[in-house]
Amino acid sequence: MIGKRILIIEVNWLGDVLFSTPFIRAVRDADPNGYIACLVHPRCKEILEDNPAINEIISYDEGGLHRGVFGKLKLILSLRRKHFDTVYILHRSFTKAFIGLLTGARARIGYPTKGRERLLTIAVDEPDVGTHSVRYFLNLAGEPAAAAKEPAYEFFVNDADRRYIKDYLSVRGIASDDKFIALCPGGNWGPKRWPKESFAALADMLAQKYNAKVVITGGTREKELAESIGSMMKQSALVTCGDTNLKQLGAIFERSCLVVANDTGSMHIAVATGTKVIALFGPTSPEITGPYGTGNYRVVKSLIECDIPCYDVTCRDNRCMKAISVEEVFKEAVGILS
């Protein structure tokens, strides 16, 4: 039996794309013989690579190849040639829904946000405010998928990346049988970051208690932050910022005995690999964007009296993250490692 040709227009951030993987699994389960393609920002492409539920990943490079009218026209023409029957629009923007319309697909499914009703053939009612993002996306797949009890992220690390990380760590003094703790001190905006002094103090405490080494992860832009944390520590730390892609980062997390992370895409990758995770939350809501489903994780959140979630990226006080004490996080880490 021939299945449908399905396009999923993805969201734009690493964590959000991971949140969508249970939805992708639900679409695949509903149409085992279908052809499923995902349109995604290039920075998030790796999140979906090696996923057996997906037949094709299409990059939507808004700032490069598909910039401007002619760039978007090139994208639309290529999508029309693929003859999709159904388009799911996970992104909330009008532009993404308009792209869905221009594909020529007869069925276009999404939420009627930002005046998009007329662009959709099926406008799905949005879930209640405060619904976790995983459930928010699953709701678009219909009632059976939305009712799934234990949806879990899907992120696939391949053996080549595992071998790369094994060699990478070995050359830098971390052998296969060495225990190490991974830190993710970055974040796509400053107010979500736990103070670097707190990360350094926690790392020293955990390294001493468990005779463990410390690895500080992140992208190139977080290298300065990571090196600053390392310079504050008594224990030496390996900074991997800028040296790994997302799959290799996942391989590091698989090897670690614990990951301590802010609310970032990296934190969700760590949860997806099945390692033990301490997730730190201040201005964002763990009920909406926290780790979800199966996994071995604990959430530590600020209890100060602020409106949460708060998306004031200009905040310089950062008191919600400062209110999380090193002792509190250490206690949770000991608990999950026991």
Please give the average per-residue pLDDT across 103-113, as a whole number: 96
% of the chain exceeding 70 in pLDDT: 98
* Average model confidence (pLDDT) across the chain: 93
Q: Which amino acid is at 237?
A: A
Q: Which of 183, 178, 188 is nearest to 211 (CA)?
A: 178
* CATH H-level, domain 159-337: superfamily: Glycogen Phosphorylase B; (3.40.50.2000)
| Between 114 and 335, the higher pLDDT residue | 335
- Residue 264, pLDDT above cutoff 90: yes
Topology of the domain comprising 5-146: Rossmann fold (3.40.50)
pLDDT tens for each residue of 21-69: 999 999 999 999 999 999 999 999 999 999 999 999 999 998 788 888 8
Average pLDDT over every residue of 309-315: 78
Query: Per-residue pLDDT tens for 127-148?
Result: 998 899 999 999 999 876 665 6
Q: Using alpha carbons, list the distances in angstroms from residue 165 to 49, 177, 216, 244, 326.
A: 18, 14, 14, 9, 29
Q: Which helix (H) or strand (E) holds 273?
A: helix 265-273
Which structure tokens are listed for 7?
A: 């396009």
Summarize the chain as % helix, strand, coil (round to 5): 45, 15, 40
Per-residue pLDDT at 280 exceeds 80: yes
Looking at the chain, which residues constitute the CATH 3.40.50.2000 domain(s)?
5-146, 159-337
The DSSP symbol for 284 reads: S
The whole-number pLDDT of residue 144 equals 60
pLDDT at 147: 59
Predicted confidence at residue 294, as pLDDT, reads 81
Judging by DSSP bridges, how do beta strands 237-239 and 213-216 pair with one another?
parallel
For residue 306, pLDDT over 80 is answered with: no
Alpha helix positions (H), 66-219: 68-80, 94-102, 133-138, 143-146, 159-171, 196-210
Q: What is the pLDDT, as a whole number, of residue 304?
A: 79
Distance CA 261, CA 76 (A): 38
In tens, the pLDDT along 168-198 reads 999 999 999 999 999 999 988 888 999 999 9
> How much is the average pLDDT of 259-277?
96
